[in-house]
Chain A
Amino acid sequence: AQTVTQSQPEMSVQEAETVTLSCTYDTSENNYYLFWYKQPPSRQMILVIRQEAYKQQNATENRFSVNFQKAAKSFSLKISDSQLGDTAMYFCAFSRGSGAGSYQLTFGKGTKLSVIP
């Protein structure tokens, strides 16, 4: 079974600064995907960024980037130029890429990020 661990229950960052959220995972799979989802207060969950395990290059999406360390099973999210709208719960998630249960998401417990004006 896969596990996803987010060790930072809460974090805060000043507006316009950079923050990094941590995530580690455990799996014996070779073909898998990693995700960061954002869940704003009272709003629905949306995908922030996705990383395919077979790709060595770290994924980037505008102000969001990841540091994917496959050997260490680490997948951190960096948010640059933080904005007030980035305030949300952030969930790290894992899915298998093939076989039984593929594409099902296993989530961490989340990190509550507050962006301070």
Chain B
Amino acid sequence: EAGVAQSPRYKIIEKRQSVAFWCNPISGHATLYWYQQILGQGPKLLIQFQNNGVVDDSQLPKDRFSAERLKGVDSTLKIQPAKLEDSAVYLCASSLVTNEQFFGPGTRLTVL
């Protein structure tokens, strides 16, 4: 069974630029999560999707971050414009109706 796929794996941008991350969950997983993991900290949930609907985006900085999940499968997370403090690893995870989440390898973002 293929795992959660994410791309790109690494991205370096300058502040005020925009960036987008892509996630392909495990086939059949209805729930998809985006987490932000700042160096030295545990992951923090940004947004949760159930199929193509948003369940919770209360911790998503909506003035600069946006996310969508088209057709209830792939998802993209966008940052525009990026700030220095957005430097982090962005993790995507998916799950069935159970509570076990499967994580992708992450995208490491560096904002200069």
Q: Which residues of A contact B (CB under 8 A)?
A: 4, 33, 37, 43-47, 50, 91, 93, 95, 97, 100-110
Determine if A44 and B100 form an interchain contact, defined as CB atoms under 8 angstroms apart.
no
Determine if A109 and B105 form an interchain contact, defined as CB atoms under 8 angstroms apart.
no
CB neighbours (8 Å) of B48 from chain A are 104
Interface residues on B, range: 20 to 34
What 5 new A-B contacts, CB under 8 Å, besides A44-B105, A45-B103, A104-B56? A44-B103, A47-B101, A97-B99, A101-B56, A110-B41
Residue B44 interfacial (CB < 8 Å)? yes
- Which of the residues A100, A102, A105, A110 comes within 8 Å of B45, measured between beta carbons? A105
Determine if A104 and B33 form an interchain contact, defined as CB atoms under 8 angstroms apart.
yes
Residue B25 interfacial (CB < 8 Å)? no
Given known pairs A47-B100, A103-B31, the reply for A109 and B56 (CB within 8 Å) is: no
CB neighbours (8 Å) of A105 from chain B are 33, 35, 43, 45, 101
Determine if A109 and B41 form an interchain contact, defined as CB atoms under 8 angstroms apart.
yes
CA gap between A14 and B36 in the complex, in Å: 32
Instruction: Supply 20 A–B pairs (Cβ within 8 Å), ascending by A.
Output: A4-B42, A33-B99, A37-B103, A44-B103, A44-B104, A44-B105, A45-B43, A46-B103, A47-B100, A50-B99, A91-B42, A100-B56, A101-B56, A103-B101, A104-B33, A105-B43, A105-B45, A107-B42, A108-B42, A109-B40
Closest to B40 in A: A109
Residue B82 interfacial (CB < 8 Å)? no
CB neighbours (8 Å) of B44 from chain A are 107
